Amino acid sequence: MDHFDIAVIGFGIRGLGLITANPELRGHRVLIVDSGRRFGAGAFVRILSESNSNGSDFFNWVDGDGPYGPILDLASVRDLRSRADCFDLQLLAQALADAAEFVRATAPSHWSIARDAVAAVDLPTDGGTTLRFAHGRTVRADRAVLACGVRERRASAYEAVLSSTLLAVPDEARAEELFPGARRFTIVGTAHSAFSALAKLSALGVEAEAVTMTGRSPVRLHYPSYDAYRRDGHPVAEAVPDPTEDVCPRTGQVFRYHGLRNRSRALFGDVSQGRLPVRLVIDPSGESTRREIEAADVVIQATGYVSDLPGIERTGRRVVTAPVALCDGDGVLLDADGRRVEDVYLMGCDPYPYKSRFTDPTVQYIDRGSAVLAALEAGRHANT
């Protein structure tokens, strides 16, 4: 059986971020495995919409003087990083794919980068992990990092189009053909994916007055600082940040990761100021939402994502129960009872949008890398 020091399962932005933020991993035997069609791009391949973040936010984790420094000179990466506001997410998909290709082309000879699907991660009693692939092959890895991404959770109580499905539709499509005869659209959710769905409906030719947005909690907006938040006036539909919970301790930004920015923020401004005749209902009890869902011809669900993990099994029994997968401060996966699943790390997604101290997912790349490298070094010393 092939044996690696570390297996990275998933080569989307997080797997790529882990690898490129931690060049020291080049000194270890690394397996990277991804079942998708474009290494690096991950879920962004399917999102035909705009970002919430600025292009300049990306690839800051790459050390320009290190072995991955040339990634910063790739044309698509430079183009992305020159955007000081939102951008077409296909630009990010291209930059990530180009960066992943650089990683593949410059990988040490003791690495393996494979296009394959991991069906399960087994936890042998003597430690480490065994990856089982869909076609039966197995591989041993002392440590495994789960960077498998997220999938949109389906709310079962009503028929809905998932926002991820709507956002995969090109702007050139027409609403009359996609939703024949539909007059009333309800978007459930008020985060970036909900406002992206609103923008998509408009691009498809749906009039603003045909749309209602409904959410359980007020809308979170990004601010560069708490002072900037205090200086502004705020509509009633806007969330009030808690200075201890919602201000990033590192940068001082308010609702740093999931607060609306750019186009989504402007759309919220237009809706809340009545410049766009979309009805916005903030409804903690869920009662009005239920009525809006019943009255709508098309319901679009934009209520969040959950981790998309392979089975994690010890002696044939699952140790992590979906839908929510959590890790501790070291990034070690926690089982259903909150105990550490040693040797397995999570590039976290849950709860999504993020509530943990990793208000910025890119902080995870270095944090996880440091924890994994420390564990690999400790293992190395134990074996000598």
Which residues from 173-192 bind ligand FAD, rule CB under 6 A?
Answer: 192
The least CB distance from residue 381 to ligand FAD, in Å, is 31
Does a cis peptide bond (omega within 30 degrees of 0) precede residue 124?
no
Alpha helices, DSSP H, located in the chain: 13-21, 75-81, 89-105, 163-166, 175-178, 192-203, 226-231, 262-272, 287-295, 361-382
369 near ligand FAD, rule: CB under 6 A: no
Tell me whether residue 15 or residue 259 sits nearer to ligand FAD (CB atom).
15
Dist CA 146 CA 15 (whole Å): 8
Tell me whether residue 10 or residue 259 sits nearer to ligand FAD (CB atom).
10
34 near ligand FAD, rule: CB under 6 A: yes
Region class of 181: left (phi > 0), else alpha (psi between -120 and 50), else beta: left
Answer for the pair 76, 91: CB distance below 8 angstroms, yes or no. yes
55 near ligand FAD, rule: CB under 6 A: no
52 near ligand FAD, rule: CB under 6 A: yes
Binding mask 98-137 for ligand FAD (x = CB under 6 A): -------------------xx-------------------
13 near ligand FAD, rule: CB under 6 A: yes
Which of 8-16, 204-212, 245-253, 291-299 is the region at the interface with ligand FAD (rule: CB under 6 A)? 8-16
Answer for the pair 150, 164: CB distance below 8 angstroms, yes or no. no
With CB under 6 A as the contact rule, the residue among 94, 129, 190, 193 that binds ligand FAD is 193
Residue with tokens 């962004």: 44
With CB under 6 A as the contact rule, the residue among 361, 363, 370, 373 that binds ligand FAD is 361
Which of 43-51, 240-248, 266-274, 325-333 is the region at the interface with ligand FAD (rule: CB under 6 A)? 43-51
The least CB distance from residue 163 to ligand FAD, in Å, is 7
295 near ligand FAD, rule: CB under 6 A: no
The least CB distance from residue 231 to ligand FAD, in Å, is 26
One-character DSSP codes across 62-115: S-TTSTTGGGGGSHHHHHHHT-SS--BHHHHHHHHHHHHHHHHHT--TT-EEEE
Tell me whether residue 223 or residue 358 sits nearer to ligand FAD (CB atom).
358
Q: What is the widest separation between alpha-carbon atoms in the chain?
A: 71
Answer for the pair 131, 121: CB distance below 8 angstroms, yes or no. yes
Dist CA 40 CA 178 (whole Å): 31
Tell me whether residue 186 or residue 193 sits nearer to ligand FAD (CB atom).
193
Q: Which pairs with CB-CB distance under 8 Å and at least 24 residues apart come from 351-356?
A: 351/304, 351/324, 352/150, 352/304, 352/305, 352/306, 352/307, 353/191, 353/257, 353/258, 353/304, 354/257, 354/258
Which of 45-53, 73-81, 289-297, 324-332 is the region at the interface with ligand FAD (rule: CB under 6 A)? 45-53
Cα-only R_g, the chain? 22
43 near ligand FAD, rule: CB under 6 A: yes
Answer for the pair 134, 325: CB distance below 8 angstroms, yes or no. no
Dist CA 263 CA 49 (whole Å): 11
Binding mask 302-341 for ligand FAD (x = CB under 6 A): ------x-x-------------------------------
Q: Write the DSSP symbol of residue 240.
A: P
Answer for the pair 96, 19: CB distance below 8 angstroms, yes or no. no
Which of 34-42, 69-77, 204-212, 331-339 is the region at the interface with ligand FAD (rule: CB under 6 A)? 34-42
Dist CA 123 CA 57 (whole Å): 37
Which residues from 136-165 bind ligand FAD, rule CB under 6 A?
Answer: 147-150
Size of the site for ligand FAD (CB under 6 A): 35
State which amino acid sits at residue 25.
Answer: L
Which of 32-40, 135-143, 323-331, 336-344 is the region at the interface with ligand FAD (rule: CB under 6 A)? 32-40
Residues that bind ligand FAD (CB under 6 A): 9-15, 33-36, 42-44, 47, 49, 51-53, 89, 117-118, 147-150, 167, 192-193, 196, 308, 310, 347, 349, 361
